[in-house]
């Protein structure tokens, strides 16, 4: 089953970074570790029935980097996970992972993971701010960090975690007509989730949901 979003107004992305700085901060995000504070965003955006499931899972704090490359047309760097991983094998994701006890902030975790996974050096990253904490069905509470990335960067992929990287136009990801709602059976029940197909790439689940929240936070819809 596929449901497509209604058309959005034509968006100008030349001012994306100014818009993002106006609405985002690096203040500690709400709902990251407090079991009494359920995150507003998550898998339940597309499938409200899973909110109760996620709420009783052990909390697993994580952080991801949304690397928006400052090209003439802003691009977003994404990864494709290796096929042998025990979780989310082969899926498209933002650089990121669990927040370790040694990470001072979610930002520190996102920067560390980006360097470990794809060799993206912190010197080319200009952090802008956090999106809402995103709660997954399996109990992960993910802090997305929006950042401006200098276009002259080098990558060194960790083959144990990342099979490939690629860039997608920010304008494509922020156009609501490209956002779809798909459904399939999962553990004996029908689940709905966001998907943003891009050519031969299938961007779905958490990654698509975070893009949806990025649109809501920066463009207010």
List the domain boundaries for the chain: 16-168
Euclidean distance between CA atoms 63 and 49, whole angstroms: 24
User: Are 2 and 181 contacting, i.e. CB atoms less than 8 angstroms apart?
Assistant: yes
Q: What is the pTM of this model?
A: 0.91
- For domain 16-168, the question of CATH label 3.90.79.10 is answered with yes
pLDDT per residue as tens digits for the range 163-184: 999 999 999 999 999 999 998 7
Average pLDDT in the chain: 89
pLDDT per residue as tens digits for the range 1-59: 445 554 444 455 568 999 999 999 999 998 999 988 889 898 888 878 777 777 788 89
Alpha-carbon dihedral sign for residues 144, 149, 151, 155: negative
What are the residues whose beta carbons fall under 8 Å from the beta carbon of 92, sequence distance 6 or more? 78, 79, 80, 81, 201, 202, 203, 204, 207
């Amino acid at each position: 089953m596929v449901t497509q979003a209604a058309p959005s107004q034509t968006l100008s992305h030349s001012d994306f970074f100014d818009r993002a700085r106006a609405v985002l901060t690096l203040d500690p995000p709400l709902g990251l570790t407090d079991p009494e504070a359920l995150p507003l965003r998550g898998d339940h955006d597309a499938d409200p029935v899973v909110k109760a499931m996620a709420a009783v899972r052990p909390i697993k704090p994580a952080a991801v980097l949304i690397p928006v490359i400052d090209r003439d047309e802003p691009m977003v760097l994404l990864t494709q996970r290796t096929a042998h991983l025990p979780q989310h094998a082969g899926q498209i994701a933002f650089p990121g992972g669990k927040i370790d006890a040694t990470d001072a902030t979610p930002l520190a975790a996102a920067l560390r993971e980006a360097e470990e996974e794809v060799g993206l050096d912190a010197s080319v990253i200009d952090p802008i701010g956090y999106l809402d904490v995103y709660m997954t069905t399996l109990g992960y509470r993910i802090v997305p960090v929006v950042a401006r990335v200098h276009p002259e960067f080098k990558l060194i992929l960790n083959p144990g975690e990342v099979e490939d990287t690629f860039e997608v136009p920010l304008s494509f990801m922020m156009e609501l007509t490209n956002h779809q709602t798909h459904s399939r059976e999962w553990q004996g029940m029908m689940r709905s989730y966001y998907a943003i197909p891009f050519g031969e790439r299938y961007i779905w689940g958490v990654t698509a949901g975070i893009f949806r929240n990025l649109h809501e936070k920066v463009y207010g819809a």
